[in-house]
Structure 1
Amino acid sequence: MGQPEMQPEGRPHDGRAFPLGDWGEPAARLDELYRWVERGALDTAEWYLEDRVWKRRCAWALRTGTAVGALAGAALPLLDLTGAVDGVTPWGYLALLLAVACVAGDRFFGMTSGWMRDVATAQAVQRRLQAFQFDWASECVREVLGPAEGTASEAAERCLGVLRRFTEDVTELVRVETADWMLEFRGGGVPLGVRVAQGGAGRSESAVSAGRFAPAANGARPNMPRQRPPEAR
């Protein structure tokens, strides 16, 4: 599958067409849907991780400019006052102006808040993906090991319910992040808060970048539920 389409201003949007197939073999069809849904979530998390790279670099550059400007703005007038260096007070004022401009630029363009929001959203998507994979595995185990419950159509409906809930959850995470971005863009400052993190802001960025919750490297996926034989009439 290709990368998800983008909304205006580069926001992620899963515009992939829903895969159509033959339901004559439900197990193969459900496996196809599982792969499609999983791929969409991985693409969404990858987009946010890539988007946070340049925002983080810009944020650190602006923060460095703020620190250097504030330090120079305080030190140069003192040097001029003590007589160590003459005529540098105007440069100190210019340095302070640079520091203020860096702070204003960071707030206006949302660099610091933007990359933090990207990390939090990627964390939330990956955590939800992990829960989805366990939910899917439990459905597979129920069909393979335990005594069968209900009909084959009911088993397929349960699997489709797991897929739909996960897709809706990922869509909601993206929607909330986009709403925070729009609120910040209109207000020209830091948003009210990254609600999409859902308590995940404390996790380190390195854990996300390493794909801590990503699927196994060998690409293994849980087996699909077996198709039950027709029930005796």
Structure 2
Amino acid sequence: MGQPEMQPEGPPQDGQSDLAGRTFPLGDWGEPAQRLDELYRWVERGALETAAWYLTDRVWKRRAARALRGGAAAGAVTGAGLPLLGLTGVAGDGVVAWGYLALLLAVACVAVDRFFGVTSGWIRDVATAQAVQRRLQVLQFDWASESVREVLGPADGTASEAAERCLGVLRRFSEDVTELVRVETADWIVEFRNGSAPMGIQGAVASGSRSDSGGGQGRIPLPPGPAARPNMPRQRPPEPR
């Protein structure tokens, strides 16, 4: 949950580091194409590591969630079936106590799942990993489009303007991935405090999908502020008699 903790690659160098400990690649811009390619690979590698962290973190949560849900279902069925067998005389009266114990086990499984956020954490990990992977595909196609444009010839401006467009593509992608991680972390904090998961990452992914289909850049919008008021339906005035 939250930003994955990854070790930096190699010894620290002069430059700015991100939250994962990876040093921002700095160097001589005498070869702009080579520097842009290095920046692209750095951004792409960070996104792949983030998605891989969420996919790895979901494994144990998925197993624990299935075990808890299976225990809750088995306990509920057993707790409801044993008293019926006792009432019909198929089994002895002692099975009623075991039925109550099974119901208690089912309630305990549900409480543990909800208190520790096992199932909700599994869903958040899957949703965040898929959102990062989908945004990475958009970046790859955008980068390929810029590369083709440069190969065909800088018809849309100078080389400095082309480099600025490429840097803008990388910056927007980094901001989108950071926003996805922030939304997932915010959901975890709210769930930890209130015991319920708002699943804001799903709303962010849906908003990004609508933005991409509308020809936008796929940016993840910020959630509305606390002072936002819901739109109330207007009442129809009474018709004159």
TM-score for the superposition, normalised by structure 2: 0.75
Correspondences of 1:64-83 after superposition (within 5 Å):
64-83=70-89
Deviation of 1:146 (Å): 4.3
Q: How does 1:83-232 map to 2 (within 5 A)?
A: 83-86=89-92, 87-195=94-202, 198-199=205-206
* 1:150 Cα offset (Å): 1.8
TM-score (norm 1): 0.78
Specify the alignment match of 2:29 in structure 1.
Answer: 23
User: 1:151, CA displacement in angstroms?
Assistant: 1.7
Q: Cα distance, 1:80 vs. partner? A: 1.3
Contact 1:51 1:118 in 2 (8 A): yes
- Aligned to 1:15, the other structure's residue is in SS state coil
Mapped partners of 2:202, 2:98: distance in 1: 42
Structure 1: give runs of 5+ residues left out of the alignment. Answer: 7-12, 201-233
Name structure 2 gaps, 5 residues minimum: 7-18, 208-241
**How many residues are treated as equivalent by the alignment?**
192
Contact 2:187 2:197 in 1 (8 A): no
Shift of 1:176: 0.5
Per the alignment, residue 213 of structure 1 pairs with none
Preserved contact between residue 177 and residue 196 of structure 1 (Cα < 8 Å): no
Deviation string, structure 1 residues 22-71 (Cα, Å, up to 9, x no partner): 11111111111010000000001111111111001000000000001001
Moved over 2 A (4+): 146-149, 189-197
Distance 1:5 1:192 in 2: 22
- How big is the shift at 1:193? 4.3
Is this contact kept in 2: 1:62–1:102, CA < 8 A? yes
RMSD, aligned α-carbons? 1.8
Match of 1:5 in 2: 5
Structure 1 residue 190 displacement after superposition? 3.1
2:45 maps to 39
